[in-house]
Amino acid sequence: MVDLAQYLPILIFLGIALLLSSAFVFLPMLVGRLTGAHQPDPAKLSEYECGFPAFEEPRSQFDVRFYLVAILFIIFDLEAAFLYPWAVSLDQIGWAGWATMMIFIAELVLGLVYAWKKGALDWE
């Protein structure tokens, strides 16, 4: 039989986390209303994106180049995330680990060269 008393600290922690997160969300809104900082006007309530009003349907598709740049960013961000632990543990993994990482980096460089040749990095 499981002793449910061992879950009490977790429930207390979740309760405190819920209370604090609710306070961080709703307390600034309440203070804004009480101090008079909440004064909506048409300029404050207007939609904005990149400093100019929207001129197209909001459900329109993005340009494919946006997705390509986002995917390339994620790929090279993940490369940086893999390089740090590899560099820290290089003395334990030896030459096999070094060679494996060089193959990984070469594959990423090949992908970058391919994207560059295809024009994925050119923005008009």
pLDDT (tens digit per residue) in 67-86? 777 888 887 888 888 888 88
Ranked by mean pLDDT, the top range of 5-9, 36-40, 42-46, 119-123 is 5-9
- pTM of the prediction? 0.45
For the residues 20-33, what does the mean pLDDT come to? 93
Residue 58 has pLDDT above 70, yes or no: no
The mean pLDDT of the chain is: 82
Contact 69, 120 (CB under 8 A): yes
Does residue 25 lie within any of the structural domains?
yes
Does residue 48 lie within any of the structural domains?
yes
Residue among 90, 89, 124, 86 at smallest CA distance from 105: 86
Which letter does DSSP use for residue 7 in this model?
G
Q: How buried is residue 55: exposed, middle or buried, by Cβ count under 10 Å (0-12/13-18/19+)?
A: exposed
Does residue 32 lie within any of the structural domains?
yes
Parent domain of 74: 4-118
| Of 22 and 72, more confident | 22
Torsion 12-14-16-18 (CA) sign = negative
Torsion 64-66-67-68 (CA) sign = positive
How many structural domains is the chain composed of?
Answer: 1
Q: Which residue bears the tokens 């050119």?
A: 122
Confidence of residue 53 (pLDDT cuts 50, 70, 90): low
Confidence of residue 1 (pLDDT cuts 50, 70, 90): low
Does residue 37 lie within any of the structural domains?
yes
CB atoms within 10 A of CB 108: 15
Output the domain CATH number for residue 82: 1.20.58
Does residue 61 lie within any of the structural domains?
yes
Confidence of residue 48 (pLDDT cuts 50, 70, 90): low
Task: Identify the pLDDT of residue 95.
Answer: 92
